Amino acid sequence: MKLRYFAWLRERLNRGEEEVDPPAEVVTVADLIQWLRARDEATDLAMQKPSLIKAAIDTEIVPHTAPIAGAKVIALFPPMTGG
Structure confidence at residue 81 (pLDDT): 60
Burial zone of 46 (CB within 10 Å; 0-12 exposed, 13-18 middle, 19+ buried): buried
Domain covering 2-77, topology: Ubiquitin-like (UB roll) (3.10.20)
- What are the residue boundaries of the structural domains of the chain, listed by start? 2-77
Structure confidence at residue 4 (pLDDT): 98
Q: pLDDT tens digits, residue range 29-79?
A: 999 999 999 999 999 999 999 999 999 999 999 999 999 999 999 999 988
Structure confidence at residue 79 (pLDDT): 82
β 54-57/2-5 pair status: unpaired
